[in-house]
């Protein structure tokens, strides 16, 4: 798969990419350069596939829990689902100050879906890529949230909702007035207000995406570096095993935390969009 440590790292950080090459037409990229040449419209097949896969797991588990729900002694799955729903519902009630029946289901979907995508990081870094390589795939990544395309896709979706509800609740004029007269309520300072408010507005989706991507990508790099230790002698291999377990335990906290942060910020931003000043 890769000869040197540098090649190994680059290989594991490259997505399976499908797109239209300017010279070779539509194809799977066989090198990182081919993937780059395909441009913006290329599709990261592995990111799309694992995102959809974890989304289907989410739907399957929650649907099964709903179908088999009982008023008697609940099973383990029902307990888990009820805990998730109650936790998110309580947080939304405390954080969201408007009236919108969409917010709680949206928050639950974001939390569970991101948690499942992040959880793929718990799998040993070489298992799935090695299996994919044996089946003919030159590149394969399994953690969608370690791909900025996935995190920006979600954050842009949240940003669109922020704009839609800001206009729906406040009206176009009210939203424009809020941007123009906050924080300084004077017409002479409208240009200053617009600069400050627009920067703050566009920073929201960027910070949402980069926070999640940065944490997951950095964790992926560390796992890859630890994996390199297995081929560096017995002592380094033993150290690698110890470090891998320590880093995995650390990610037991990081994985749900990042899902939680993304969900909370989404609710906070949408709450602000519903507030009339």
Q: Is the dihedral of CA 177, 178, 179, 181 positive or negative?
A: positive
The answer to whether the beta carbons of residues 263 and 242 sit under 8 Å apart is no
Name the CA radius of gyration of the chain, rounded: 22
In whole angstroms, give the CA distance from residue 273 to residue 100: 11
| Chain center to CA of 4 | 30
Catalytic residue from among 15, 118, 193, 215: 215
Query: Considering 79, 130, 207, 242, which one is annotated as catalytic?
Result: 207
Asked if 63 is an active-site residue, the reply is no
Respond yes or no: is residue 15 known to be catalytic: no
Query: Which of the residues 100, 149, 180, 211 is marked catalytic?
Result: 211
Active site residue 215: yes
Which residues carry out catalysis? 207, 211, 215
């Amino acid at each position: 798969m890769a000869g040197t440590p540098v090649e190994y790292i680059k290989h594991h950080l490259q997505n399976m990419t499908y797109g239209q090459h300017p010279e070779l037409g539509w194809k799977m990229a066989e090198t990182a350069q081919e993937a780059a040449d395909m441009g913006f419209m290329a599709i990261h097949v592995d990111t799309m596939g694992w995102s959809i896969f974890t989304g289907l797991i989410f739907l399957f588990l929650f649907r099964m829990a709903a179908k088999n729900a009982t008023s008697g002694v609940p099973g383990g799955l029902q307990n888990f689902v009820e805990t998730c729903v109650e936790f998110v519902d309580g947080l939304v009630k405390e954080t969201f100050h408007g009236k919108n029946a969409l917010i709680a289901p949206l928050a639950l979907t974001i939390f569970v879906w991101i948690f499942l995508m992040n959880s793929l990081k718990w799998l040993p870094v070489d298992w799935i890529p090695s299996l994919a390589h044996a089946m003919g795939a030159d590149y394969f990544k399994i953690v969608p949230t370690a791909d900025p395309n996935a995190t920006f896709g979600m954050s842009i979706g949240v940003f669109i909702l922020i704009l839609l509800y800001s206009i729906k609740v406040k009206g176009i004029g009210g939203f424009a007035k809020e941007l123009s007269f906050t924080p300084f309520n004077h017409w002479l300072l409208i240009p200053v207000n617009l600069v400050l408010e627009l920067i703050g507005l566009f920073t929201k989706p960027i910070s949402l995406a980069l926070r999640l991507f940065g944490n997951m990508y950095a964790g992926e790099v560390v796992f890859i570096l630890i994996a390199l230790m297995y081929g560096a002698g017995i002592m380094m291999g033993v150290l690698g095993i110890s470090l891998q377990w320590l880093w995995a335990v650390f990610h037991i906290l990081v994985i749900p935390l990042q899902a939680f942060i993304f969900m909370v910020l989404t609710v906070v931003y949408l709450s602000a969009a519903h507030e009339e000043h």
